[in-house]
Amino acid sequence: MSARNRELLALLPASVLVVTGFTAVFVQRENVMSNVSLTYGALFLALCLATHIFLRFTLPYADPYLFPIVALLASFGIVMIYRIDATDARQQAQWFVVGLVLFVGTILAFRDYRRLEQYRYVIVVVSIVLLLLPRVPGIGEYVNGAYLNIKLPGGITFQPTEFSKIGLVVFLASYLRDTRQILVQGAHRFLGVTLPPLKHFGPVLLIWGVAMLALVLSSDIGTSVMFYGALIAMLYVATGRLSFVVIGLIAFLAGSWFLGTHIAHVHARFETWLHPFQRRVYNAPLGSYQVANGNFAMAAGGLFGQGFGESIVYIPGTHHIPLIPEADTDMIYAVITSEVGLFGAVAILIGYLLFVWRGFKTAMLSSDSFSKLMASGLTAVFALQVFVIVGGVTRVIPLTGVTLPFISYGGASIVANFVLLALMLLVSNRARRPVRPYT
């Protein structure tokens, strides 16, 4: 079976999931079966088929599993958001269509994605500006203890860090392609540790500074982890030096400790993480109410879950006072675990792991350094985003306001991740293209 036919076959589970998911929600709410679920499934399948046909003609050699995995995650996300808030689900479906349009546009505009190297400094400047926009007075929005969004005309909120992560990866892939040999050959040893040449290590320090600045100005631990983690991963792929990774991790941990003990709002984040069930933290403004109740919801799910619609999202007797704040964005993983149990939540994580596996396989198949580094970086930042939000909900790390890719409600998130997917497929198509023998 050809790659594109495997992709076509793999799209069917996503459509089945939409039908069965909406059917389960309708039965739970009204105790009736509805043909509307079939209509939703047919529409979702039609969109996926149209995208598949486009890929069949434009990227015939691209990885056949990346898009079906995304379709499966997105379909599950729409069902979960509909179960929480029907209005948000309709808006998410609209953003899904916008994401597909931008996905197609990215592929058409960057068929030769290596042209992005020519604009790497423009890209990194724009990315840093987007990262800092939420702190600009008048347009930045302060939500749940962090500056993450900007307000656009028409009441639309937008999370610019979703796009800045892609820009920073493109810049680092281009810069490290040019300097990776110098970083290795110019390195020197000090007290048994291999240190890179400072002259060419400047951009790495710049990204470290940007990550720390985001932590201070935006109280955004997740974005800092996501950006800096992608940098460390790409640095290791470029140089193969484990010592660089160790130095980078020590620098990040030292910076995080200093900021966590000297900056009040960062310290509050750590308190919420470490002591969520203490009364003073639970009842404090922007305290651990959200994290603690999310943990209670996950515990109630057990191994097999309570069923669709059975998790208590709002305080009983009300329809507007949340028991789990931001249930369809920050805390959607807690609702998933509550309703489909540990087994269902792990199945979602397996889906993400499959995406990461295919992404790193694409990097391994790539023959040129820029493609290899960009695919590694995009995969790493995607994986770290999943780790940051799931780790925050489960209290592995402090909770921050990043979204669960393709599942959480959020227009900027789903659109930016479709751009990320488009770039991954462009790299994959080039890497998997058969080499024509010389005649």
pLDDT in tens, 145-183: 667 778 776 667 778 888 888 998 998 898 888 877 766
Q: What are the φ and ψ backbone dihedral angles of 5, each rounded to 5 degrees?
A: -70, -35
Query: Is the pLDDT at 184 greater than 70, yes or no?
Result: no
* pLDDT band of 420, cuts 50, 70, 90: very high
Query: Is the pLDDT at 203 greater than 80, yes or no?
Result: no
What integer best gives the mean pLDDT of the chain?
Answer: 83
Lowest mean pLDDT among 88-102, 205-219, 336-350, 359-373: 205-219
User: Please, are residues 194 and 244 in contact by the beta-carbon 8 Å criterion?
Assistant: yes
Q: Work out the average pLDDT over 242-263.
A: 78
**pLDDT score of 337:** 94
* pLDDT band of 128, cuts 50, 70, 90: confident
Query: Tens digit of pLDDT for each residue in 421-433?
Result: 999 999 999 999 8
**pLDDT score of 188:** 62
**pLDDT score of 183:** 65
Q: Work out the average pLDDT over 303-329.
A: 82
Query: Tens digit of pLDDT for each residue in 62-109?
Result: 999 999 999 999 988 888 888 888 888 888 889 999 999 999 999 999
**pLDDT score of 216:** 66
- Tokens 């792991």 correspond to what residue? 353
**pLDDT score of 398:** 84
Q: Work out the average pLDDT over 327-336.
A: 90
* pLDDT band of 202, cuts 50, 70, 90: low
> In the sheet where 146-152 sits, what is the strand order?
140-143, 146-152, 156-158
pLDDT: which is higher, 47 or 31: 47
- 246: which 2 tokens? 């160790």
pLDDT: which is higher, 188 or 133: 133
β 146-152/140-143 pair status: antiparallel
Q: For residue 140, what are the β-bridge partners?
A: 150
**pLDDT score of 288:** 85
**pLDDT score of 104:** 95
**pLDDT score of 327:** 86
Query: Is the pLDDT at 399 greater than 60, yes or no?
Result: yes
**In whole angstroms, what is the distance from residue 326 CA to residue 322 CA?**
8
Element (H, E) at 152: strand 146-152
Query: Is the pLDDT at 4 greater than 60, yes or no?
Result: yes
- Tokens 């058409």 correspond to what residue? 108
What number of CA atoms fall less than 13 Å from residue 203's CA on the CB side?
A: 22
CB-count exposure of residue 162 (10 Å: 0-12, 13-18, 19+) = buried
**pLDDT score of 272:** 86
Q: Work out the average pLDDT over 18-36.
A: 67
Query: Is the pLDDT at 261 greater than 60, yes or no?
Result: yes
398 three-state secondary structure:
coil
Q: What residue segments make up the domains of the chain, in order of their start? A: 3-432
**pLDDT score of 437:** 60
- Beta strands per DSSP E along 208-343: none
pTM for this prediction: 0.90
The percentage of residues in the chain with a pLDDT greater than 90, rounded to a whole number, is: 29
Closest residue by Cα to residue 150 from 164, 134, 131, 170: 134
User: Please, are residues 298 and 394 in contact by the beta-carbon 8 Å criterion?
Assistant: yes
Using CA atoms, how far residue 418 sits from 94, 305, 307, in Å, is 14, 30, 30
